[in-house]
């Protein structure tokens, strides 16, 4: 096994920066959102998905898929949101296993009231600090990394120490 290739100076700068930025950015947005509207970032994401639909109700599974959340996570989270009256769940008629998740009036009010300030915050904190080239480069970076994360055979390629193209 070859020696570890550590990160050089520039890579460390980018890596540490990325971690610090994400931590501080989400912490800040979470605190502000919570203070403004009583919603968490997770609540916000759920409510956005329900609002984006033509119908403000979705199959549980479709919602999980749209959010890219595990079902277990969504189940726990909806239980908390339901207790607070933001969403409601009722059994589906088509499939007695299925649940339909709907936005309540309270949930709709909450998201409509919270969204503008939240978007403005993203703009102020992030995009107002970047030029066009940086925005596009950021998008390209994320897409490259996501492509690698979702690449097939990634695990064995990592162990073998070369890229995924088979011999």
Partner DNA sequence: ATCCCATTGGTGATGTGTCAACTAATGAGC
Partner DNA sequence: GCTCATTAGTTGACACATCACCAATGGGAT
Which of these, 43, 64, 63, 62, lies nearest to 106 by C-alpha position? 43
Nearest approach in angstroms of CB 73 to DNA is: 4
Q: How far is the CB of 2 from DNA (least distance, A)?
A: 29
Which residue's CB is nearer to its own copies, number 147 or number 166?
A: 147
Q: Does 16 bind DNA (CB under 7 A)?
A: no
What is the sign, positive or negative, of the torsion defined by CA atoms of 34, 39, 43, 46?
Answer: negative
Binding partner of residue 137 among DNA, its own copies, none, CB cut-off 5 to 8 Å per kind: its own copies
**Residue 108 touching DNA (CB under 7 A):** no
| Distance set, CA 10 to CA 14, 19, 94, 120, 137 (Å) | 6, 14, 56, 31, 17
Q: Is 111 a residue that touches DNA (CB under 7 A)?
A: no
Q: Which is nearer to its own copies, 40 or 157 (CB)?
A: 157
């Amino acid at each position: 096994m070859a020696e570890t290739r550590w990160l050089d100076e520039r890579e460390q700068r980018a890596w540490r920066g990325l971690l610090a930025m994400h931590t501080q950015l989400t912490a800040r947005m979470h605190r502000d959102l919570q203070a403004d509207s009583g919603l968490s970032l997770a609540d916000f994401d759920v409510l956005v998905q329900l609002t984006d639909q033509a119908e403000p109700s979705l199959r549980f599974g479709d919602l999980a898929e749209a959010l890219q959340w595990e079902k277990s996570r969504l189940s726990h989270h909806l239980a908390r949101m339901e207790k607070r009256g933001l969403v409601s769940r009722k059994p589906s008629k088509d499939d007695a296993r299925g649940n339909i998740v709907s936005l309540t009036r309270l949930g709709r009010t909450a998201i409509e009231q919270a969204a503008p300030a939240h978007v403005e915050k993203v703009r102020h904190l992030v995009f107002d600090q970047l030029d066009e080239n940086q925005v596009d480069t950021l998008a390209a970076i994320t897409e490259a990394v996501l492509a690698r994360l979702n690449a097939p055979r990634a695990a064995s390629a990592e162990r073998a120490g070369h890229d995924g193209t088979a011999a």
